[in-house]
């Protein structure tokens, strides 16, 4: 019950106590395990918490995608590994580019775009290169794997062009995939850059657990995001995405050093451009991965300084930040991509590709 204070005959409510940010009690970073599988793939990008045991997927474990091969060539990684909270690592899938069941322009290079759908279907983005350089980057696709790690379907075209990150939302027997794309004219523009990065909503039918999801429609709901090639990072463009409780999609605009918001993400039929700016600059230093925490707090990880930033979606206030990676020069440079929140434990899983590990931010 709200306390009331009487002063000069006036009854008024006492101010509510300030809410502790989600990351407020989280101060400890713990290494869990190496994400390097037997074939030597490195550069972990995508991170997804497994909520239900199905097939080879085990509830409570974390699925991780690798972007580079053992030679550290970007856009050539072909593996996903499954990591338990106690550090047990198994290879979930090794994808053979020459044995795909459908088109995937350029081959396989697994990105941060990673989601687990009803029925145990795993969807992962591919932005492939032939030699690890942006000059050979191709449009790629979304790869759909069953719960045993077998690629059963590819989704290409429909505006998919360098799928860089993704989030999923299921309602009934339909699932929306929200995908950022970073190759629309990027290779041609090179380091000069262009403003053609997009956000797509792909609506899938996920009714059948035995048959791969069916693509029902594709809608471009965001556009005009800056994107450019980069020697160290291959490509820089709109990266992390997360859906809030009010159907607002939050986008980590990495080159713009800001977080933007696209309203009515699952129902809109028009393109919102880059959307509304939620927050910019401050503690943000080139935000990459993004996840939405309870209370619609937006967690992002920086490419510029290795920090995690906690932002209020309600008013854009940057509530707190935590150092996750202090290695490299500058510290944490480009090392942090995928985020996965375990809401039951109030923990944040993340990959550190400078050391090829899955780590967790937790309370002491």
DSSP letter string, 115-171: EEEGGGEEEEEE---SSSSGGG----EEEEE-TTS-EEEEE--TT-SSEEEEEEEEE
pLDDT per position as a tens digit, 151-177: 999 999 999 999 999 999 999 999 999
> Residue 318 and residue 261: Cα distance in Å, rounded?
15
Q: List, for residues 309-321, the tens digit of each pLDDT value.
A: 999 999 999 999 9
pTM of the model: 0.93
Local confidence band at 208 (pLDDT 50, 70, 90 cut-offs): confident
Cα-based torsion angle of the residue sequence 183, 74, 145, 186 in order, rounded to the nearest 10 degrees: 0
The answer to whether 183 touches 127, Cβ cutoff 8 Å, is yes
Q: Cα-flanking dihedrals φ and ψ of residue 221, to 5°?
A: -110, -5
Q: Does domain 24-362 have CATH number 2.120.10.30?
A: yes
Distance CA 122, CA 143 (A): 8
pLDDT score for 5: 41
Provide the b/e sequence for 72-86 (b: ≥16 CB within 10 Å): ebbbbbbbbbbbbbe
Strand order in 28-34's β-sheet?
28-34, 357-362, 347-352, 336-342
In this model, does residue 237 exceed pLDDT 50?
yes
pLDDT in tens, 117-146: 999 999 999 999 999 999 999 999 999 999
Q: Using a pLDDT cut of 70, give the percent of the chain over it.
A: 94
DSSP letter for 191, please: G
What is the four-CA torsion angle of 353, 69, 152, 358, rounded to 10 degrees?
A: -20
Torsion of CA 106, 226, 44, 64, to 10 degrees: -90
How many whole angstroms separate alpha carbon 105 and alpha carbon 130? Answer: 11
Distance CA 47, CA 284 (A): 21
The Cβ of residue 120 has, within 10 Å, a number of other Cβ atoms equal to 18
In whole angstroms, give the CA distance from residue 349 to residue 351: 7
Q: How many CB atoms lie within 10 A of CB 138?
A: 20
Confidence band for 325, pLDDT divided at 50, 70 and 90: confident
Query: Tokens at residue 40, please?
Result: 């030597």
CA distance 316 to 43: 31
Task: Write down the domain spans for the chain.
Answer: 24-362
Query: What's the residue count for the chain?
Result: 364
- Among 87, 80, 36, 39, CA closest to 56: 80
**For residue 204, what are the β-bridge partners?**
175, 215
Q: Please tell me the distance from the alpha carbon of residue 226 to that of residue 229, in angstroms, as a whole number.
A: 11
Q: For the chain, what is the mean pLDDT?
A: 93
């Amino acid at each position: 019950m709200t306390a009331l204070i009487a002063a000069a005959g006036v009854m008024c409510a006492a101010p509510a106590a300030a809410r502790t940010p989600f990351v407020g009690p989280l101060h400890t970073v713990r290494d869990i395990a190496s994400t390097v599988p037997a074939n030597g793939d490195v550069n972990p990008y995508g991170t997804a918490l497994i909520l239900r045991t199905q097939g080879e997927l085990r509830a409570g474990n974390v699925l991780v995608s690798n972007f580079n091969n053992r030679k550290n060539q970007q856009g050539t990684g072909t593996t996903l590994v499954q990591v338990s909270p106690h550090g047990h690592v198994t290879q979930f899938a090794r994808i053979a580019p020459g044995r795909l069941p459908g088109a995937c322009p350029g081959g396989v290079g697994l990105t941060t775009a990673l989601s687990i759908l009803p029925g145990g279907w795993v969807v992962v983005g591919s932005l492939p290169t032939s030699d690890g350089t942006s000059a050979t980057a191709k449009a790629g696709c979304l790869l759909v794997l069953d719960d045993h790690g077998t690629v059963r379907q590819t989704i290409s075209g429909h505006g998919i062009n360098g799928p860089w990150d993704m989030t999923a939302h299921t309602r009934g027997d339909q699932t929306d995939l929200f995908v950022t794309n970073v190759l629309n004219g990027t290779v041609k523009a090179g380091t000069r850059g262009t403003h053609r990065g997009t956000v797509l909503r792909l609506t899938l039918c996920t009714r059948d657990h035995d048959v791969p999801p069916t693509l029902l429609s594709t809608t471009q709901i965001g556009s005009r995001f800056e994107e450019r090639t980069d020697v160290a990072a291959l490509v820089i463009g709109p990266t992390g995405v997360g859906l809030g409780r009010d159907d607002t999609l939050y986008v980590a605009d990495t080159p713009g050093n800001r977080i933007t918001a696209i309203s009515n993400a699952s129902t809109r039929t028009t393109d919102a451009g880059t959307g509304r700016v939620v927050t910019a600059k401050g503690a943000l230093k080139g935000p990459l991965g993004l996840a939405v925490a309870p209370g619609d707090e937006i967690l992002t990880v920086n490419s510029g300084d290795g920090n995690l930033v906690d932002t209020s979606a309600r008013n854009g206030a940057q509530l707190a930040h935590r150092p996750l990676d202090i290695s490299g020069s500058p510290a944490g440079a480009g090392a942090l991509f995928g985020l996965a929140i375990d809401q039951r434990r109030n923990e944040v899983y993340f990959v550190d590709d400078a050391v090829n590990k899955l780590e967790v931010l937790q309370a002491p």
